[in-house]
Copies of this chain bind each other. A is one copy, B any other.
């Protein structure tokens, strides 16, 4: 059976496991106050070219979104996000459980534009009843988006600019950040992101780590007492050094970028293969998630030997399927897939 279901089906990159083994019996203080975490923070600051960044390590994506968003908003504020955004749909109401409305915006290819954000806030400000409404207090975007698409550098700068204009922070969910940064033709670097976002996170769970997300607060003192907020949210790992070791490894010798690049290469190979065989794509995705339109008959046949994600029913005879590659995908997995097709 070939598996293309998701990008979190394996454990961790072998180098990470090796480091965990080497350090296993060392005794360190808990909660992220150890040497490995400090090391990882330094390396991430350098990679972001953001010497003042405050960095915290959390365990998972929904947890990170809920914690950061709760920390950034006042009680009367909500978060602007694409209606297809992870926080809008697939986090079981974690943002609302924290007391805040997700103000869903229409998206195009999973992205929201600076113009739409600007319009929303302008209309809000002009509305005679806006004191009875949820104030937009934050913009949330995903990079790559849930549809595998990417913001360009210009689009990020425009979003950043509109946020500055309205004095609200921009938060970027980078659960799959590496796969965005290493996409072909992407003009966005980690530095671009650090320059344009007030807070973002570098996803580990889907990019080579066992688990872990590195939150980067690019403006020092933006969030007071974030450590305690993390604790209150149940998001503070006792053995914090496990996160430090993982990110230290990922940000040594360019590993994070190399394994991300590999996943992109695999995605390109997959894309080419499908294209050559005449398949069509539901989204034009330059990243590790590919959305293929399959005839239902073909799909059923394929499911005998390959597993992949159901995305949506297109029409009575066609389904959109999601194929994800990752740092762990092997070239032979894809060869084998196309033998089956």
Distance from A162 Cβ to chain B, minimum over Cβ atoms (Å):
21
- How many monomers of this protein are in the complex? 4
A221 touches B (CB below 8 Å): no
With contacts A76-B228, A96-B78 taken as known, whether A211 is within 8 angstroms of B234 at the C-beta atoms is no
A255 touches B (CB below 8 Å): no
A336 touches B (CB below 8 Å): no
Query: Within the assembled complex, what's the spacing in Å between the Cα atoms of A307 and B233?
Result: 29
Query: Is B132 within 8 A of A90, CB to CB?
Result: yes
CB closest residue in chain B, given A22: B11
A interface bracket (residues with beta carbon within 8 Å of B)? 35 or more
A238 touches B (CB below 8 Å): yes
With contacts A78-B93, A232-B92 taken as known, whether A239 is within 8 angstroms of B8 at the C-beta atoms is yes
Across the A-B interface, the 4 shortest Cβ-Cβ residue pairs? A63-B234, A11-B24, A9-B27, A92-B232
Apart from A59-B237, A132-B231, A234-B234, 9 more pairs, CB < 8 Å: A9-B29, A14-B24, A21-B21, A25-B328, A60-B234, A76-B92, A92-B131, A210-B242, A234-B235
Residues of A at the B interface (CB closer than 8 Å) are 3, 5-6, 8-12, 14, 17, 20-21, 23-30, 59-67, 70-71, 74-76, 78, 89-94, 96-97, 99-102, 104, 128-129, 131-135, 205-206, 210-211, 224-225, 227-229, 231-239, 242, 310, 328
